[in-house]
Amino acid sequence: MEIVTRIARMRHLAPRLKQDRKKLALVPTMSALHEGHLSLIRRAQILADAVVVSIFFNPIHFQAGEEFDVPARDLARDAELMAKRGVDVLFAPSVDEIYPEDMLTYVTTDTLDCRLCGAQQPNYFRGVTTIVNKLINIVRPDYTLVGQKDAQQSIIIRRMVRDLSMDTEVFICPTHREPDGLVTSSRNALLSAEERQAATALYRGLQQAQKLVERNGVRDAETLIGAVRQVLDLEPLVRPEYIALVDMENLAPLTAIAEGGEGLLAVAAYVGQVRLTDNIILVGSTG
Amino acid sequence: MEIVTRIARMRHLAPRLKQDRKKLALVPTMSALHEGHLSLIRRAQILADAVVVSIFFNPIHFQAGEEFDVPARDLARDAELMAKRGVDVLFAPSVDEIYPEDMLTYVTTDTLDCRLCGAQQPNYFRGVTTIVNKLINIVRPDYTLVGQKDAQQSIIIRRMVRDLSMDTEVFICPTHREPDGLVTSSRNALLSAEERQAATALYRGLQQAQKLVERNGVRDAETLIGAVRQVLDLEPLVRPEYIALVDMENLAPLTAIAEGGEGLLAVAAYVGQVRLTDNIILVGSTG
């Protein structure tokens, strides 16, 4: 595995990885690799002949004072993990390499980027679309793999690629979960034992809603959101930021899932000081 | 020459035009081809092995009620002109083909896009960067040729390509002029004989400033802008919108050209009802 820190070197390597019609996949990450990332890498290796994993902690995601938990960056550990898994290239550029001092260009997805998680962090998704646009331009992957764990981010990236006719196919891959259902995330390490237990309420709440859909044919947002809230309310350590049922394409709030249609049920909550998110896709019954 | 109207077909053709390490150039236009475009095409043919010219009148440049003169679209005439000149592909997609109904993604260049011409047309350059970004993604040219005639647009496109690490080289090509110095433009046809005569004041004013730089070593903005204004003021049909001396990279106003440095002297003016622009690059003397 080669560790690349320069854009020019990555640009030089990428077409070589694609020679003889080989397919190239990109897995963009923000470091602190965990089982969730590794599951994306495994999928990338099934899809493509070569896999580039990028590690870049994007400063333009964040504004001063935002409550984001910055995962500690340990490139040596991440590199070792990826080399073991047969990743072809680890692209880990510095912030200076990626952003010219006088960077002025941004990619935005109007309306999508201020919904759900974007309501509290106005520049967050502009940061996501800009860096992922740039990474795709540099690596030119046939496939770009993102996690349903970050559903809004994944939907926004897929939309950007379509709207700007970028020549890559976006795959949104299933969420990796711990045995008790909690989404695998580097932030979980920040939870106390008690908080860690309370945090399972997010997925338990979502599952409760899923049961209502599957067993009782419920499709209306109020009932489904209420079911999640009820589970969260039983955990004093959990403070919900939002619980929302939204359209899978434009993230607009749904009053109900259409018969046979889909809806994204998403939740963000603080557990102690740690902000966690989770989501599931619900399919409205036709009965 | 093939006329392509579909993104999928263009995507299919482009790598074929680049086979065997052949170089591909893109000349993006908004139709109504004239000698200015043809001079870009000639330069593209010198640079590259194959040339794609795009013709797309971009509706997101414009807002309702904006005073832009829409050049009449005559694709058959444009196609004939280009076939004669040996253009390889004319890419002329429809608005529906380029913009999904629910298009939400835009590319912006902060601050650059509200200077000069952007001050009056707030969404104009967002439209430019978005469509050119998309055209480059579809055609994947090695070289993208734009005209210094539209200096702000060219500088913004060059900046976007750099900031987003797009894999194309932007060439800003010299302005094509009529024998009396007026910038070649489809809008010139909208001028009356008297207005056509008055319109030469734009370039005459710029030349006056250039003389002051070259013969008298003048570098300060006030004197140079004053020189242009003096010439324009002699023409009652000409109403200046702006006269500005700006930095070549970030379009910020300059108080003076640095010794041995460059400055863009740009003018926009209405001649009758027709809005015209012109600009020259001035190099500060070192004496």
pLDDT tens track for A197-245:
999 999 999 999 999 999 999 999 999 999 999 999 999 999 999 999 9
User: What pLDDT does residue B64 have?
Assistant: 46
pLDDT tens track for B77-131:
999 999 999 999 999 999 999 999 899 999 999 888 889 888 888 788 999 999 9
Phi, psi of A2 (to 5 degrees): -100, 135
User: What pLDDT does residue A176 have?
Assistant: 97
Instruction: Work out the pLDDT band at B72, boundaries 50, 70, 90.
Output: low
Contact B11 A130 (CB under 8 A): no
Smallest Cα distance from A138 to chain B, Å: 6
Among A7, A96, A104, the residue to mutate for chain B (most B Cβ within 10 A):
A104
pLDDT tens track for B263-285:
999 999 999 999 999 999 999 98
User: What pLDDT does residue B287 have?
Assistant: 66
Contact B162 A109 (CB under 8 A): no
Q: Annotated binding residues of A, as ranges?
A: 30-37, 147-150, 153, 184-187
Catalytic residues of A: 37
Tokens of B122: 């707030």
| Rounded Cα gap, residues A113 and A115, in angstroms | 6
User: What pLDDT does residue A72 have?
Assistant: 53
pLDDT tens track for B155-173:
999 999 999 999 999 999 9
User: What pLDDT does residue B61 have?
Assistant: 65
- CATH number, domain of B229, equals 3.30.1300.10
Residue A74 lies in a domain: yes
- A71/A131 same-domain check: yes
pLDDT of residue B62 exceeding 80, the answer is no
Phi, psi of A277 (to 5 degrees): -135, 155
Tokens of A79: 């590199």
Parallel, antiparallel, or unpaired: how do β-strands B274-283 and B262-271 relate?
antiparallel
Residue A178 lies in a domain: no
- A132/A252 same-domain check: no
pLDDT tens track for A24-81:
999 999 877 899 999 999 999 999 999 999 999 887 765 544 444 445 568 889 999 9
Residue A180 lies in a domain: no
User: What pLDDT does residue B117 have?
Assistant: 86
User: What pLDDT does residue B73 have?
Assistant: 65
Residue B33 lies in a domain: yes
Q: Which of B122, B146, B173 is the last residue of a domain?
A: B173
| Mean pLDDT on A135-142 | 98
Q: Which of A148, A173, A198 is the last residue of a domain?
A: A173
User: What pLDDT does residue A31 have?
Assistant: 74
Domain of residue A270 covers 186-283
pLDDT tens track for A47-61:
999 999 999 988 776
The count of domains in chain A is 2
Q: How many CB atoms lie within 10 A of CB A132?
A: 26
- A154/A207 same-domain check: no
- B276/B138 same-domain check: no
CA Rg value for chain A:
19
- B9/B38 same-domain check: yes
- A110/A239 same-domain check: no
Nearest by CB to residue B105, choosing from A102, A107, A250, is A107
pLDDT of residue A247 exceeding 90, the answer is yes
pLDDT of residue B32 exceeding 80, the answer is no
Contact A167 B102 (CB under 8 A): no
Q: Which of A255-269, B97-111, B190-204 has the lowest mean pLDDT?
A: B97-111
Task: List chain A residues with CB under 8 Å of B106.
Answer: 107-108, 110
Q: Annotated binding residues of A for ATP, as ranges?
A: 30-37, 147-150, 184-187
Mean pLDDT value across chain B: 93
- CATH number, domain of A96, equals 3.40.50.620
pLDDT of residue B67 exceeding 80, the answer is no
- B214/B100 same-domain check: no
Residue A18 lies in a domain: yes
Angle, CA of B156, B160 and B162, to the nearest 5°: 120
User: What pLDDT does residue A253 have?
Assistant: 96
| Mean pLDDT on B56-76 | 63
Residue B178 lies in a domain: no
Residue A179 lies in a domain: no
- A15/A142 same-domain check: yes
Residue B198 lies in a domain: yes
Q: Which of B115, B142, B173 is the last residue of a domain?
A: B173
Tokens of B123: 């969404």
Q: Which residue of A has its CA nearest to B167?
A: A137
- A135/A59 same-domain check: yes
pLDDT tens track for B210-239:
999 999 999 999 999 999 999 999 999 999
| Mean pLDDT on B175-198 | 96
- B139/B38 same-domain check: yes
- A155/A79 same-domain check: yes
Q: Where are the beta strands (DSSP E) in chain B?
A: 2-4, 24-29, 50-55, 89-91, 105-109, 143-147, 169-173, 238-246, 262-271, 274-283
- B196/B61 same-domain check: no
Smallest Cα distance from B213 to chain A, Å: 29
User: What pLDDT does residue A1 have?
Assistant: 95
Among B16, B20, B107, B248, the residue to mutate for chain A (most A Cβ within 10 A):
B107
Q: For helices A124-139 and A7-17, what crossing angle results, to 10°?
A: 60
Contact A110 B111 (CB under 8 A): no
